[in-house]
Amino acid sequence: MKLIIPMAGRGTRVRPHSHVTPKPLLPVCGKSMVERIVDMFSSVLPRPISDGVFVLGPDFGPEVREALTDICTKHGAQAHFSVQDVALGTAHAVACAGDQLEGEGIVVFADTLFYMDPGVDLSEADVVAWVKHVDDPSAYGVAVREGDRIVRLVEKPQVLISTEALIGIYYVKDLRVLKNAIQHLFDNKITGVGNEYQLTDAFDLLLRDEKVFKTATVTHWLDCGTIKALAETTTFILDHEKHTASGVGTVVHPPVFLGPGAILEGGEVGPNVSVEAGATVKNSKVSNSIVFENAKIQNSTLSNSLVGKNATVQSFTGKINIGDHSEVSG
């Protein structure tokens, strides 16, 4: 089983934190988004992951490939890399996986997190699309079903035809068939929303070819696409995974995540705080915040804040969102 993971975008809506680190590699309670995705599928799929196929941006450095290779190695999988030089849509992003589009696989976009129950049924279907009920589907692609089979995929419907939103996860029994459908879009210049090549249009071709489409569901679907969403997702995971921590003379209000080598000393931390690896919080009051790797906070009071990697906050009170290597003092 292959995982095809397009992740070429930088994640401009979570800047400044994605200036250096691509959004899918930002940590959420100790694990990057893409690591959480690989871990989840390793635990729920009926067959083991053999290959991780990552479609990267042209400016991603070797440290990105190293991190992704380490994630695959942990699961006994082989890592493969390709590059999407120009963003021309979701179908184009998948097509950039090239020769790796063969055999069975999962196509998953690394911009959301999710939880699903084990024992996913992939039998008797050419394509399985994961969906989640939403009250207002106008901002999403949706699946229209008759019984247990999908009969139509519609991108951002303006008339209510389904409340089952497509969440960007698809099982494909034969990736070569999907590759051929995408090539048909290219050859005939069939573009969709945003004048881009959309993956839903490629799947629509397979539906017309009478391929069997079914749905699967997630128990939770968590957006990470904006600063606000990233903070809310971190809060959810802190509570869902029951994280707690302790420090030297620190009053801790769970849930609080404390990464390897991170230090709490004095002050008051929590609730809903993630302190990533190597970060230090001393004599400070911090709540509802994310402190990224190796950041330092001292003699400060922060709430609803994000402090970037290797950043320093000294004697500051309030709400801040600062990028890597920044310095703020009161």
Counting Cα atoms < 13 Å in the Cβ hemisphere of 317 gives 0
Mark whether 194 and 256 lie in a shared domain: no
Q: For residue 11, what pLDDT is reported? A: 61
Mark whether 211 and 254 lie in a shared domain: no
**Total domains present in the chain:** 2
Mark whether 153 and 289 lie in a shared domain: no
Q: What are phi and psi of 29, to 5 degrees?
A: 55, 50
Mark whether 192 and 325 lie in a shared domain: no
- pLDDT tens across 36-54, in order? 999 999 999 999 999 999 9
13 or 225: which leads in pLDDT = 225
CATH number of the domain bearing residue 303: 2.160.10.10
| Separation CA 27–CA 293 (nearest Å) | 9
16 or 179: which leads in pLDDT = 179
Question: Does residue 233 lie in a domain region?
Answer: no
Question: Does residue 234 lie in a domain region?
Answer: no
Q: Enumerate residues 6+ apart whose C-beta is below 8 A from 271.
A: 253, 254, 255, 256, 287, 288
32: how many CB neighbours lie within 10 A of its CB? 20
| Separation CA 127–CA 175 (nearest Å) | 10
290, 258 Cβ separation under 8 angstroms: no
Q: For residue 13, what pLDDT is reported? A: 65
Nearest in space to 140 (alpha carbons), one of 155, 162, 151: 155
Question: Does residue 13 lie in a domain region?
Answer: yes
Position 88 pLDDT exceeds 90: yes
Mark whether 29 and 170 lie in a shared domain: yes
pTM: 0.91
236, 252 Cβ separation under 8 angstroms: no
- pLDDT tens across 93-106, in order? 999 999 999 999 99
Question: Does residue 237 lie in a domain region?
Answer: no
Determine what percent of the chain is predicted with pLDDT higher than 90: 72
| Separation CA 275–CA 27 (nearest Å) | 10
Mean pLDDT, residues 128-152 taken together: 86
Position 111 pLDDT exceeds 90: no
Question: Does residue 228 lie in a domain region?
Answer: no
Question: Does residue 34 lie in a domain region?
Answer: yes
Q: For residue 10, what pLDDT is reported? A: 66
Q: For residue 18, what pLDDT is reported? A: 65
Q: And the tokens for 284?
A: 């400070």
Q: Which domain holds residue 165?
A: 2-223
Question: Does residue 229 lie in a domain region?
Answer: no
Q: What are phi and psi of 13, to 5 degrees?
A: -80, -5
Mark whether 285 and 139 lie in a shared domain: no
Q: What's 225-294 look like in SS3?
A: CCHHHHHHHHHHHHHHCCCCCCCECCEECCCEEECCCCEEECCEECCCEEECCCCEEECCEEECEEECCC
Position 291 pLDDT exceeds 80: yes
Place of tokens 């129950």: 117
Position 309 pLDDT exceeds 80: yes
Mean pLDDT of the chain: 92
Out of 176, 192, 223, a domain closes at 223
Mark whether 162 and 271 lie in a shared domain: no
Mark whether 87 and 208 lie in a shared domain: yes
Handedness of CA 155, 34, 26, 98 (dihedral sign): negative
Nearest in space to 183 (alpha carbons), one of 100, 54, 95, 99: 95
Q: And the tokens for 245?
A: 């921590």
Question: Does residue 232 lie in a domain region?
Answer: no
CATH number of the domain bearing residue 30: 3.90.550.10
53: how many CB neighbours lie within 10 A of its CB? 26
Position 16 pLDDT exceeds 90: no
State the amino acid at position 36 in one-letter form.
R
Place of tokens 């497509």: 166
Q: For residue 120, what pLDDT is reported? A: 86
Position 14 pLDDT exceeds 80: no
Given the DSSP bridges, would you call strands 220-223 and 112-115 parallel, antiparallel or unpaired?
A: antiparallel
* Range in 7-16, 124-133, 180-189, 209-218 with the lowest mean pLDDT: 7-16
Mark whether 211 and 283 lie in a shared domain: no
Q: For residue 263, what pLDDT is reported? A: 97
118 or 304: which leads in pLDDT = 304
Surface-to-core class of residue 50, CB atoms within 10 Å of its CB (0-12 exposed, 13-18 middle, 19+ buried): middle
Mark whether 213 and 305 lie in a shared domain: no
Distance linking the first and last C-alpha atoms of the chain: 53
- Pick left, alpha or beta for residue 157 (phi over 0 → left; psi -120 to 50 → alpha; otherwise beta): beta
- pLDDT tens across 145-190, in order? 888 789 888 877 777 888 888 888 999 999 999 999 999 999 999 9
Mark whether 214 and 322 lie in a shared domain: no
Mark whether 63 and 211 lie in a shared domain: yes
Q: How far is CA 169 from CA 105, 113, 125, 200, 259, in A?
A: 11, 11, 15, 11, 29
Out of 223, 252, 279, a domain closes at 223
